[in-house]
Structure 1
Amino acid sequence: MGLAQWLQVPIDENAAYRNDVWTNRDLIPIPPERRTWDVLGYLGYWVVGGACISAWTTGSTMLSYGLNAQEAIGAVVVGSVVTGLLAVSCGWMGERHKIGFTVSSRFVWGMRGSYFPVLLRIFTACCWTGIQGYWGGQATRVLIGAIIPGFAHMKNTLPESAGIATNDLIGTLIWYILFAVTISIPPERMQRPFFVTFVLFTGTAFGMLIWAVSTTGGAGPLFHTASTAPQGRGWAFMFGVTSLLGSWGAGTLGQSDWTRYAKRSLAPTVSQVLAAPVTITVTALIGIIVTSCGQDIFGTLIWNPITMLAAIQEHYDSSPRARAGVFFASIGLVASQLAINTVLNSVSTGMDMAGLAPQYINMRRGGYVLCVIGLAINPWRLVATANKFLTVLSGFGVFLAPMTGILLAEYLVVRRQKLRMSHLYRGDAGSIYWYWHGFNWRVLGPWVLGVWPLMPGFVAGVSGGDVAVGWTRLFNLAFVVGLAISFACTLVVDWVFPPPHLGEEDEYDPFMADAQLDVKGSKEELDEKKDFAVDDVVPV
């Protein structure tokens, strides 16, 4: 018993809550003293989320559909605007009720059923953390190579079966140490690190843009090519839009993980509506221009800016000026990978893991577990050899898009933004979110119906088989199709079989929860505690 108590997560001094199977410090609605994010903070968040390596390489996906550079930018603009609107919609419950995805899944899927979307998100985040960390390690290798030129050509002492070179392994380990330090920063104090990252990555992006355009005297050959879309330009444009939504739209599912830290109402809205499309579009445009110019300079297309920096240093024979430029540019890429892994993975997944065992895992501990798993899966092997696995991982939007549609339908339309907050922390039949043995059977059908039309194209993409063109097109429109079908089906099912207690709402009352759990007290003592909680305590 002493060991179990020692392993429990810390509780704030004079805390009104207690750790149990549904509750800890990171799962309760964020109290006022932890609501530190303002408009500028959320602008920094979306600059980090939009100005990153993923946005830089978006053009490669667009052009692979047969779009020309101008059409690709148009698809990016449309997709990023929709992303901003999705972020506002999915983040509203965090802004209003101060809860994240982990807790909000309880009113959607049921108290026990909420483990399903949480586990799915943990799995994908662990894999992506490893891959993003490997890219961060490569950026770190380039940074060290700019300081020590010999490091870039270090003799590989690892066997070929390792799947990674010695210098890449060193860079990855150093990056993960930095990432572990980043995890220790609580989300309410992330604004300044995000601002620093914004300055560094912006310097990298515009520095590479100025170098590329000044070297070639223009935007390069990609802006002079014609559209070659075999399926038609309209379909190719839609595929481009939905591919961007698959990258950023799926991330908006957990937007409430961050909007719950808002200092005041509507603080995240401006950044979500404006900063998201602007940063994604500008970064993608810079990526296309620099890659296009790079084709003139290096004779080949290099979409990854990390690889581009290494090629620049080699192109100029590791001259002092080239090494200085590569050094400062690579700092921005290292910082960007740290920030994007924090935004998309460590905070959200840390909270998801806390939802599995709140008494023993909090957001920080979950982040450290994520860090260890991300390194332990040997992500360099996934990147180098497991193309099918990467295809599966990239296609997980097939499963997440319907969850987004269900969440939006349940919260915005069916429940009209009204929740009984205290019942989200009660794990028995007394909770209105207990449904049937802890599971909300109503959402299972809409989720399945949102997934099944996309599965033939998904399976064909993984196995390399052939299916009818219609199935492939549906898969290429996965996020839009899955979200729309699940949204509509949720409304129909809930209209035919209305969930109980619709329209009821209350505040989270930690004293009430504490009284309910104190089974040793008499009925009178419990009633006294409840009366005290209701009459004398402001809910946190």
Structure 2
Amino acid sequence: MSAPETSQVSHPDGRVELSEPTALTGRFANPELVPVPIAKRKWTTYNYFALWMGMAHNIPSYLLASGLIAIGMNWLQAFMTITLANLIVLVPMLLNSHAGTKYGIPFPVFARAFYGVRGANFAALLRAFIGCAWFGIQTWVGGQAVYVIVGKFAGDWWTDAARIFGQPWSIWLGFLLFWGFQMAIIWRGIEAVRRFENWTAPLVTVGFLLLLGYVLIKAGGFGPIFSQPSQLGWGADFWKVFAPSLMGMIAFWATLSLNMPDFTRFSSSQRRQVWGQVLGLPTTMSFMAIVSIMITSGGIVLYGEAIWDPVELASRFDSAVVVVLALLGLGLATVSANLAANVVSPSYDFSNAFPRRISFRVGGLITGVIGIVIMPWRLIADPNIYIFAWLNFYGGVLAAVAGVLIAGYWLRARARLALAELYRERGRYWFRGGWNWRALVATVIGAVFAVGGAYGGPFPEDGLIPLLKMFYDYSWVAGFFAAMLTYLALSVFGSAARVPSEYAGTDGENR
């Protein structure tokens, strides 16, 4: 059943809405997927700054810098790599965010314009399953924090509990408790997530600052920490790992560079969401990086080794008060990041796949279940696997999707979409059977260029496809540009997601 006729209304600030959004009642619409009316787009610059503070200040982002220290970089090399990566990934993030603010649509609906109304599920589910894995990773480290906190009071019967599947049963219990707490919040809906982010944003740094303060006191100040030498130097050994490390750092937010429309659809203006992200992402991640670097380097001074996991490092502290307060702060930070980055978007993605059957809440529950099944404890067992296998591989795949979206929206459609058509069967974005083969081919080619040569860790040393091994060190860049150029080339040979003439010029400037 096709969506009823409804016209799009353009506002002076460039934002667009439908005259009758409730008319979108077909099989490809539900309350979570239809455009947000202008009256309900209320998020401010602070909301986006708080969102990024909540998402960036968490244990997995801490592991980025501590992982670079663990593989041999010094503080300056690690800080430079992470800061540069976040400035790079901010660009595609802002480019894709524009559509969410302008049209009030989430990422999977945005993808319909270029992948097709059905084909968008391909891009959305790629992003969703990676989000599920991240949800599992965040929940696992949060569960570890619960395990350590309870162990400080419960004693040996808890910390030395009988093992199940190689881990004490008490760790599994902490994992499940942490999982259930997050599911309870997401079940209350997107507004509950926004309120939680606003409340926790000023507090999430407490745990990390406590860890830092304790390490500084015990290590004798900043001097011993910043004097830690690089094991790689500044020669060939460093530059050999710099490029793949940079790609891994970019890949950390490759998911959000796609699905920020899930959040910017609620923005009260383009300016507010842009400034919120510009002020939020680079600053919070740079702060997180320098704190992680100092704590990890301090751990080397104190314990003679680079302990990249802050939960394990905190468990070695003598002061139970410091351990409990620090890990409570870290746990709060992890919940905040997990809800925003790894549950909201997969929930929309699963809902997009089955709009009439899966609501935002049910999508969140599916995310939580897959996050357990994927066995996240294996993905963060080693910094080399975490950075060079996990981050680089999925980052390259999602970069291909980003290349298609940016080429389609900015270079082909010129930031103009026929809003109601995104929900219409056999309409403008139906292509062939609901799929745009050009976008699919471009994505596959970009992904093959990016990760076809994957090597190291679980991959063959010569690469999955030896001829493409040289591209894997530049996986995100290779995937992004290969997909973008392929999509543009294929689009020359036929129509591909251009706005119909009756909408051209009706929606204001491309703000």
- Classify the secondary structure of the residue corresponding to 1:463: coil
- Match of residue 375, structure 1, among 372, 375, 382: 372
Cα shift at 1:116: 1.1
1:475-486 → structure 2 map (5 Å cutoff): 475-486=472-483
Deviation at 1:41, TM superposition (A): 0.6
Q: Which residue of 1 aligns with 2:281?
A: 276
Matching residue of 1:211: 214
- Higher Cα Rg, which structure: 1
**CA distance in structure 2 between the partners assigned to 1:393 and 1:230 by the alignment:** 26
Quote how far apart the aligned CAs of 1:390 are.
9.7
TM-score by length of 2: 0.86
1:286 aligns with 2:291: yes
**Can you list the C-alpha shifts for 1:185-214, whole angstroms capped at 9, x where unaligned?**
432343331133333321112222222122
2:349 aligned with 1:352: yes
Residues 44 and 194 in structure 1, CA contact (< 8 A), matched pair in contact too: yes
Give the equivalent residue in structure 2 for 1:418: 416
- Does 2:425 correspond to 1:427? yes
Q: Map Cα deviations across residues 300-349 of structure 1 (whole Å, 9 max, x no partner).
A: 2111111111111xxx2xxxxx2122111111111122122212221111
Counterpart CA distance in 2 for 1:297 and 1:203 is 22
For 1:223 and 1:238, locate their aligned partners in 2 and report how far apart those are by CA, in whole Å: 24
CA distance in 1, matches of 2:32, 2:274: 23
Instruction: Give the Cα–Cα distance (whole angstroms) in 2 for the partners of residues 389 and 204 of structure 1.
Output: 23
Q: 1:32 is matched with which residue?
A: 38
Q: Secondary structure at the match of 1:497?
A: coil
Q: Is the 8 A contact 2:136 2:374 kept in 1?
A: yes
Does structure 2 retain, via aligned residues, the 8 Å contact 1:391–1:462?
no
- 1:329 pairs with 316, 326, 331, which one? 326
- Aligned pair partner of 2:195 in 192, 195, 205: 192
One-letter amino acid of the counterpart of residue 257, structure 2: T
Render the CA deviation track for 1:334-389: whole Å, top value 9, x for unaligned: 1122122212221111111111211121111110122233234454466569x989
Residue 267 (structure 1) aligned with residue 272 (structure 2):
yes
CA distance in 1, matches of 2:453, 2:67: 17
Equivalent-residue separation in structure 2 for 1:344 and 1:98 (angstroms): 19
Q: Is the 8 A contact 1:106 1:112 kept in 2?
A: yes
Name the CA shift for 1:223/1:58 in 2 (closer, same or farther; >3 Å): farther
Matched, 1:109 2:107: no
Tell me, in whole angstroms, the C-alpha distance in 1 between the residues paired with 2:395 and 2:490.
23
What residue in structure 2 maps to residue 240 of structure 1? 245
What is the match of residue 14 of structure 2?
A: none
The secondary structure found in structure 1 opposite 2:155 is helix
1:401 aligns with 2:399: yes
Cα displacement string for residues 116-175 of structure 1 (whole angstroms, at most 9, x for unaligned residues):
1122222222222222211111111122234x141684442344xx23212201211211
Q: Give the corresponding residue for 1:8.
A: none
CA contact (8 A) 1:65 1:239 kept: no
C-alpha spacing 1:500/1:382, structure 2 compared with 1 (3 Å): closer
State the match for 1:91 in structure 2: 97
Q: Name the counterpart of 1:71.
A: 77
> Which of 229, 242, 246 is matched with 1:225 structurally?
229
Provide the residue aligned with 1:454 in structure 2.
450
Residue aligning to 1:164:
167
Give per-residue Cα distances to partners, 1:438-471, cap 9 Å, x unaligned: 2112223322331222344215553332259984
Aligned equivalents of 2:389 and 2:229: distance in 1? 32
TM-score, reference length from structure 1 = 0.82
Q: Which amino acid aligns with 1:417?
A: A
1:224-279 C-alpha deviation (Å, 9 max, x unpaired): 31443674544543333222101113321111111101123321111222221111
8 Å contact kept, 2:54–2:201 = yes
Deviates more, 1:370-379 or 1:345-354: 370-379
The residue number in structure 1 matching 2:459 is: 463
Q: Larger % of helix: which?
A: 1
Superposed, which structure 2 residues align to 1:483-502 within 5 Å? 483-499=480-496, 501-502=498-499
Counterpart position of 2:360:
363
- Structure 1 stretch displaced more, 100-109 or 25-34: 25-34
* Structure 2 residue identity aligned to 1:289: M
Structure 1 residues not aligned, in runs of 5+: 1-13, 317-321, 508-540
Matching residue's letter, 1:475:
Y
Cα pair distance change 1:86/1:64, threshold 3 Å: farther
Paired residues, number: 480
- Residue identity over aligned pairs, in percent, reads 25
Q: Which runs of 5+ in 2 are unaligned?
A: 1-19, 505-511
Q: What's the C-alpha RMSD, in Å, of the aligned pairs?
A: 2.8
CA contact (8 A) 1:163 1:384 kept: no
The separation in 2 between residues aligned to 1:136 and 1:182, in whole angstroms, is 15
Residue 475 of structure 1, CA deviation: 0.8
Q: What secondary structure is seen at the aligned counterpart in 2 of 1:104? A: helix
